Structure 1
Amino acid sequence: MVRGRLSVCEFLARLPMFEGLSPAAVKTIALSVTHRSFHKGALIHDVIEKGATRQGFHIVVNGGVKLLFVAPNGGEKVVRTLGPGDSFGEESVFLEDMESLVSAQATSSLFLLHISKDSMLVLLEREPAFAMRMLSNMSRRVYALLKDIESYTLKSATQRVVDYFLEHAKLHEGGQFRFNTNKALVASLLNITPEHFSRIMRELCARNLISVEGRDVYIPDPARLQTYETADSE
């Protein structure tokens, strides 16, 4: 069983990645699945490399994950955050003997499904429509990474924070949302220091462009926030 009373087959069948597959195809994938649990702070790739010989990718069932670069001095740059239903590591299905460039770390108690590379290759050969979905999904991620590079290169830190708030407010009614991770992690995603992120938030609050209480952020006038201009420089 995975989430609630769902079986592995039922859970996989509800994911957009596997939408439209026959029950037999989903069952083939489910038979290759292994379950893995991690505590908050666990480095997932490190654990897997020590004990597993099977290659493949992961799907988050419960909990959160961050993908990050770790510097020799211990500093880190978060590339992506994931929650239930998200997947990562699909590139291992297509690439041979490629060293992973990022680490994966649990941001809470975490339960993952690991899908074997061999079962995915069989499915990709039999189901062209599924192969196109995977290609489309990976292409969207490449596009998102290029957008991030554009943002880091051309936009000020304040503009990146404003864009982040507006993007998340679109997903929630009333312009209110909750940080699903801590603020330091969000700052890393935006390629700024936690201290700079806090200063920007204080400035936006002082101008009544946002209000913050704990992890709750409220945007009273998204249009006004979108047109906010600053002389912020880095």
Structure 2
Amino acid sequence: MLFAALDTGLQAHLVRGATERQFENDQIIQQRGSAADGFWLIEEGSVMVGQFMPDGEFRAIALLGPGDSYGELAVFSEKPRVVDAVSRGKSRVRFISARKFLDALGNYPASMRALLGALSYQLQDTLALLAGMRRGTNPARMAELLVNLAGEQSGPSQVDITQQELAELLGVTRVTANAALAQLQQLRLVERGYGSIIVRDRDRLMQFALS
């Protein structure tokens, strides 16, 4: 995430005085088409980012949690937002204004270079995900998604997400997602729980995704 790449002094400066807001489950935090007048930093809970379809269905593309930020790209582009964001359960977020962010960034040249690196990493990661989703089987795609959600921890880790949300992120039906998870569990790569998935070994899961 871009905010995490910033100098700690700049992070503290931006958080000070940033508006704190709390949202209930399924409450809309931001809407596509609105002005990019700032970005959001998640402090508690989680947020689903995606787009509402004309029929009202929400198509998720990312699940974000504490410490994650979103909306910076729209600030840089100075164009309307292209995604909707919905609170998943109760959440607490801070809104950092675009003006405060851009004005302060000029005083931190190292952070500007770090942001360029973070943007490049995001682009490479997105291209790799798109390529993998086009070529892989559903279990391999599910494995790659879980690897990304699990973060960098190499040992066992818990991903708090429902099977319906996993299906939405992959763009498949819940039945298809369940079948993919069942295969991964049979291989002892993951363990399904209520509202969560245990990734037993991130490295092995990554090997499966790439095989």
Same fold (TM over 0.5): yes
> TM-score normalized by structure 2?
0.80
Per mean C-alpha deviation after superposition, the further-off stretch among 202-211 and 141-150 is 202-211
Instruction: Give SS of 1:108's match.
Output: strand
RMSD: 3.2
Q: Which amino acid is 2:140 matched to?
A: Q
Instruction: Give SS of 2:49's match.
Output: strand
Partner of 2:52: 70
1:59 equivalent to 2:41? Answer yes
Q: Which amino acid is 2:23 matched to?
A: F
1:199–1:122 Cα change, 3 Å? same
| Cα deviation digits, residues 13-67 of structure 1 (max 9, x gap) | xx74443537xx844x345511111111111114xx6xxx881111001110111
Tell me, in whole angstroms, the C-alpha distance in 2 between the residues paired with 1:31 and 1:188: 35
Instruction: Give SS of 1:44's match.
Output: strand
2:179 aligns with one of 199, 214, 219:
199
1:185 equivalent to 2:173? Answer no
Tell me, in whole angstroms, the C-alpha distance in 2 between the residues paired with 1:128 and 1:184: 43
Tell me, in whole angstroms, the C-alpha distance in 2 between the residues paired with 1:143 and 1:220: 24
Partner of 2:30: 45
Structure 1 unaligned blocks of 5 or more: 1-14
Confirm or deny: 8 A CA contact 2:24 2:91 kept in the other structure: yes
**Offset of residue 111 of structure 1:** 0.8
Partner of 1:110: 91
Partner of 1:19: 7
Task: Please tell me whether Structure 1 or Structure 2 has the larger radius of gyration of its CA atoms.
Answer: 1
Tell me, in whole angstroms, the C-alpha distance in 1 between the residues paired with 2:7 and 2:72: 17
Tell me, in whole angstroms, the C-alpha distance in 2 between the residues paired with 1:103 and 1:170: 27
Confirm or deny: 8 A CA contact 1:54 1:116 kept in the other structure: no
Count of residues in correspondence between the two structures: 206
Q: Which amino acid is 1:123 matched to?
A: A
Larger RCO, structure (CA 8 Å, separation 6 or more):
2
Structure 2 unaligned blocks of 5 or more: none
Partner of 2:67: 85
Q: Which amino acid is 1:144 matched to?
A: D
Instruction: Give SS of 1:109's match.
Output: strand
1:206–1:229 Cα change, 3 Å? farther
Confirm or deny: 8 A CA contact 1:59 1:114 kept in the other structure: yes
Q: Which amino acid is 2:27 matched to?
A: A
Tell me, in whole angstroms, the C-alpha distance in 2 between the residues paired with 1:131 and 1:220: 35
Aligned-pair identity (%): 20
Q: Which amino acid is 1:89 matched to?
A: G
Partner of 1:157: 138
Instruction: Give SS of 1:64's match.
Output: strand
Q: Which amino acid is 1:92 matched to?
A: A
> TM-score normalized by structure 1?
0.73
Tell me, in whole angstroms, the C-alpha distance in 2 between the residues paired with 1:219 and 1:199: 18
Instruction: Give SS of 2:61's match.
Output: strand
* Higher share of residues assigned strand: 2
**Offset of residue 110 of structure 1:** 1.0
Partner of 1:133: 114
Tell me, in whole angstroms, the C-alpha distance in 2 between the residues paired with 1:169 and 1:58: 20
